[in-house]
């Protein structure tokens, strides 16, 4: 989906993925570890994937970038947008190793979901083995689905944990994330 959504935070921003980001996507996903789908192995494959993504409805893919110098820090997406249910999933979340953009990129995803996209509910599904990210969603204050779920990774069924946030729960999560994102921005210094 060729969207034009730009979200600006304290230290980081989200901008739409472009074909020119293919090399960065391959690089950062290769550093992302064993919890990501394998995805495109080459820049040419990634370019094709992006062209297909442009034709797919209900899918917003973003580059997370630094406001200081527009350095790309990572990627995140909101997809499977259901206009009737006003619900979607977010994921494809990967950041450069050591990037301090985790808290603010999650904050901006939710701002996008409950703001411009006018969704009522967002879910995220995390491989159960990815304990640090499962803990992150718990720490945000999201509700965990009572039962584990199964998702597919590289064609294989894998145990996963589903978290959900609805519009009613968003203000409390926003307050928590925004306070921390502001502190990261102060430690980072002035933005452009």
Partner 1 sequence: MNPTPSSIEPDVDALIRAALGLPAGRKVPLVRADIEQWDSLKHMEIILALEDRFGVMFHEDEFPALDSTAAIAAAVCKHLAA
Q: CB of 191: closest distance to partner 1 in angstroms?
A: 12
CB of 134 to partner 1, least distance (A): 8
CA 192/CA 185 separation, integer angstroms: 12
Nearest-approach distance from CB 127 to partner 1, in angstroms: 13
Q: Closer CB to partner 1, residue 31 or residue 131? A: 131
Pick the closer one to partner 1 by CB: 7 or 103. 103
Least separation in angstroms between CB 27 and partner 1: 20
Nearer to partner 1, 59 or 90 (CB): 90
Least separation in angstroms between residue 133's CB and partner 1 is: 7
Note the residues at the interface with partner 1 (CB under 8 A): 98, 100, 102-103, 131-136, 139-140, 177, 179-180, 183-184, 187-189
Instruction: State how beta strands 121-127 and 72-82 pair.
Output: unpaired
């Amino acid at each position: 989906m060729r969207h034009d959504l730009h979200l600006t935070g304290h230290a980081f921003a989200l901008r739409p993925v472009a074909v020119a980001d293919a090399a960065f996507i391959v690089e950062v996903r290769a550093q992302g570890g064993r919890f990501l789908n394998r995805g495109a192995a080459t820049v040419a494959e990634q370019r094709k994937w992006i062209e297909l993504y442009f034709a797919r409805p209900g899918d917003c893919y973003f580059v997370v970038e630094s406001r200081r110098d527009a350095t790309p820090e990572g990627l995140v997406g909101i997809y499977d947008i259901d206009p009737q249910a006003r619900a979607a999933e977010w994921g494809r979340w990967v950041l450069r190793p050591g990037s301090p953009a985790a808290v603010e990129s999650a904050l901006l995803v939710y701002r996008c979901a409950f703001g411009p996209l006018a969704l009522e509910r967002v879910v995220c599904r995390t491989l159960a083995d990815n304990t640090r990210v499962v803990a992150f969603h718990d720490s945000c204050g999201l509700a965990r689905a009572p039962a584990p779920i199964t998702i597919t990774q590289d064609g294989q069924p894998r145990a996963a944990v589903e978290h959900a946030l609805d519009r009613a729960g968003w203000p409390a999560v926003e307050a928590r994330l925004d306070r921390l994102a502001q502190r990261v921005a102060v430690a980072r210094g002035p933005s452009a």
